[in-house]
Structure 1
Amino acid sequence: MKQWLLLFFLCLPFTIWAQNNPPVYVCPPCGACDTISFHQPGTCPHCGMTLIKKEDATLNTRTMTICFYLYDGVEILDFAGPMEVFSYAGFKVFTVSKKKAPLLSQGILKVIPDYSIADAPPADIFAVFGGDDEVAANDPEVIRWIQSRDKATSSYFSVCTGAFILGKAGLLDHLTVTTFHKSIANLQKAVPSAKVLEKVRYVDNGRVITTAGISAGIDGALHLVSKLKGPAAAAMVAQHMEYDKYVPEQGMVIVH
């Protein structure tokens, strides 16, 4: 009896504290409603994500970074579509080119990169895009730079013929991949050990995601958001962009 009384009095202060300090629930970081708090568990009425305790959310608040490597002749929608997806999903996107000089996308859009390969910071995800991809793929200095970042890079993402750049860096060897529909055969020749698929929006190998051409980059980016932040976060971004074409899991995920 004395032991129970002792336990009761030891627990009493914590019980009173818990009653006066009920748990606060928040969205997992999604970029849109991270600052809103709730006093009951459930789903966020704004983005549909499952709420988690605030103290749990603080354990994973580091913003993921994505390096977009751009070059003269890069396809506009190849990088602009995924950039919209990732930025709205709360990722930090920065652009890099071989030099900091302005580059021209499709002969139309002038882009000033944030960094050159000489001063670019590390990133969680490295992304490359199609267009005049041979500008980067056939540049030994750029390929060596990509390879030098491998230990600090958790994921690779390519759109369209950007896959040729990853292939030249040796990152597609023995993987199942895809690219622009008119470049399937050429990528197979460039990376003989890879299995290059056609008629698929994206292929996820775990660490490496390759997508088909141009608009397929949006689907691949939404898939990566879903993979890292949950399906509700990807659906929220697609709705924000009014991208009605988005169909979750329409690509191929390779299970190792």
Structure 2
Amino acid sequence: MPTVRNFFAILLTVMTSINACAEERDGVNEFIFYPREVIRKNSPDLLAFAGLYNYHASLATIQFGARIGVSEGNVAQWDYKLELTSKSFMDNYKASLRLLKKNNYTSNSTRDTILIERLAGSFDPFKKLDSLERLSIDSELGLSQTFSSTAGSAILPGTSGNLTLTPLFALRLNYRPDSLQQTHSFAFSNFDVFDPYPMNQPFLQIETVQALDNCRVFGYIRYRWDNSISQFYALYLTIGVEIPY
């Protein structure tokens, strides 16, 4: 089964990265790497590799990122992003602005420029309850502006082509065991690190983050549907590593 082979290749790649974590020294900035297998209903499976770098400046966090996707042995997409995220204000909130350039080489090839504005909040509403103090909630609201074209530059962003506006949302429940350096999360959303999705194609996601020496390892399973939760659209399998630099 190609999907199983791809998933074990992902696992081997990440485990190799984990072995190097013990040699890394503590740092403020992070490099994040994750391969991802996407099992799709109406398209061939997609194996994507993403790399991100978080630079923590005095006023904001700057994230640079790139991703390449391969399907049936050919490059199916490549993307890059730049995102600015503010420091926390009013104790619980952060704002961000994201610029994303996407190039899709499937049968319906498009070149998209996407602008995303979002507001994120983190809350601990149960911290005074002994039985629920390890639970926290993250929520996000935003807007995606997508400019789609079949022409134009594949490198530079642009505002030509058709404009699509999509409201974005995310709700995440986090659980942190008391004695372990772990976080387990359950999320309901219609966007992630790179992609905004239509409102009728959101997802549910289960994620685990584990601290290991001077790095963090994470993995998630995501189920995305089309119009109804019973209408399967795609399944995402991801294992990644975050290394301080």
TM-score class normalised by the smaller sequence = under 0.3
Task: With the length of structure 1 as denominator, give the TM-score of the two structures.
Answer: 0.25
Greater relative contact order (Cα < 8 A, sep 6+): 2
Larger radius of gyration: 1
> Of Structure 1 and Structure 2, which has the larger fraction of its residues in strand?
2
TM-score, structure 2 as length reference: 0.26
